[in-house]
Structure 1
Amino acid sequence: MRVTVDRDRCSGHVRCAALAPQVYRLDEEGYAAAGAHPVPPGQERPAERGALACPEGAISVSR
C-alpha cells in the first residue's frame, strides 16, 4: 500500500499525521511530505483514516 500527498492541495491541517504519525511525516513547513510513500506493515488502517481526515482530499491511497 502507498499513500500519495498532493502538496498543491495540502493546507497543513496535519490531521493525517495526528491519526497516523508512522505514515504521514511533516516537512519543515508543517505540511505532509509530498510524494508517494510506502505504508509500513500494520499501518494500513491508520493510513486510510489519515487520508479520509484530510479536508482538502490531498491524500490518495493505492494498493
Structure 2
Amino acid sequence: MADRPPYPGIPRWVKVSGILAIVLILLVVVLLVTGAGGDHGPGRHSGGGGSTPTTSIPARTP
C-alpha cells in the first residue's frame, strides 16, 4: 500500500473565519471598555429619562 500524504491541517476558510471572529469580538470589547460606542442601551430608546411607560388600559377588578 502507498503511504498517504500527511494531513494538510486546518482548511483556510476555518482559519479566516476564526481570525475574523476574534477580531470582531476584540473590537466589541474595546468599544465597551472605552465607551467609544456612545450612549447605547435600553434607556436610549425609552423616550428620555428611562421612565416606565404608562398604559391607558384600566386594571381589571374582580
Q: TM-score, normalized by length of structure 1?
A: 0.23
Normalized per residue, the structure richer in helix is 2
Quick check: which has more Rg, 1 or 2? 2
Normalized per residue, the structure richer in strand is 1
